[in-house]
Amino acid sequence: MAVTVGFLYPGYSAEDDYPTLERILGAEVALPLVHTEMREDAHRVDALLDIGSAEVLAAGAERLRQQNVSAVVWACTSGSFVFGVEGATRQVRQLAEVAGVPASSTSFAFVRALRALGVRRVAVAATYPGDVAERFVDFLADDGVEVSSLASRGIVTAAEVGTLSSADVLEFVAAHDHPDAEAVLVPDTALHTALLLDELTARVGKPVLTANQVSVWEGLRLVDAVAPQGLGVLSGRRTE
């Protein structure tokens, strides 16, 4: 039987990365997705706090519960790290209570993926405005991750991020590596990266971790499944 991990995804932008990754990973992995309410599409702190609110996520988690998933991941980096580590921890605890299965979020997925790779120093190529991106840096710092450089593209809406071409993504990420960084993080789940994982790492010459990639890996980790080939540098990786 397939391992089934459910995802809560805000609005519509790069949600098609999940069926794409499901196809790439093969018949043993199922990745059902539920769209959560997005009252305002904005990478702005107040809007993100609403996007990741307990009320919004509980409604989505209940729908996933009805699909008999084995784990749930809140597939929104900014809608989790904006709450800080304490708030993001509370967020996934509440998700687990509603869904009745283990839960996590993309922000924690990045932290755990870095542990699995043994990486402690990174560059961040963020599509968000600068003030939002800085909150991701703070979230990483709480786990002892040092950010050697931070690039902010300044895009306000997830919808616009989702329209960026593969060539644009490759160029943006490659341009914002840093010689001191051991890996490059690309933290927006609104960005299409499912078909670019190996190309991104080859282009940069070091591990590149993207939001939808780490979200799927984290979901598999929650059910103690080893990620099959198809998740770039995280294929076959485990952590605690």
Q: What is the CATH number of the domain that holds 191?
A: 3.40.50.12500
Enclosing domain of residue 85: 3-108+212-234
Residues 99 and 10 in one domain: yes
Residues 74 and 127 in one domain: no
Closest CA to 199 of 189, 210, 188: 210
Residues 205 and 219 in one domain: no
Residues 11 and 83 in one domain: yes
Instruction: Tell whether 240 is covered by a domain.
Output: no
Instruction: Tell whether 172 is covered by a domain.
Output: yes
CB 48 within 8 A of CB 78: yes
Residues 72 and 98 in one domain: yes
Residues 25 and 100 in one domain: yes
Residues 81 and 150 in one domain: no
Report how far residue 30's alpha carbon sits from residue 5's, in angstroms, rounded to the nearest whole number. Answer: 6
pLDDT of residue 226: 86
Residues 86 and 127 in one domain: no
The total number of structural domains in the chain stands at 2
Instruction: Tell whether 229 is covered by a domain.
Output: yes
Residues 102 and 188 in one domain: no
Report how far residue 79's alpha carbon sits from residue 136's, in angstroms, rounded to the nearest whole number. Answer: 10
- In tens digits, the chain (240 residues) has pLDDT values of 689 999 999 999 999 999 999 999 999 999 999 999 999 999 999 999 999 999 999 999 999 999 999 999 999 999 999 999 999 999 999 999 999 999 999 999 999 999 999 999 999 999 999 999 999 999 999 999 999 999 999 999 999 999 999 999 999 999 999 999 999 999 999 999 999 999 999 999 999 999 999 999 999 999 999 888 999 999 988 755
CB 233 within 8 A of CB 210: no
Residues 169 and 223 in one domain: no
Instruction: Tell whether 239 is covered by a domain.
Output: no
Instruction: Tell whether 93 is covered by a domain.
Output: yes
Strands (E), the chain: 3-10, 29-30, 33-36, 71-74, 103-105, 121-126, 146-152, 183-186, 208-210
Residues 204 and 220 in one domain: no
CB 122 within 8 A of CB 140: yes
Residues 67 and 93 in one domain: yes
pLDDT of residue 193: 98
Instruction: Tell whether 133 is covered by a domain.
Output: yes
pLDDT of residue 1: 66
Phi/psi at 71 (5° precision): -160, 160
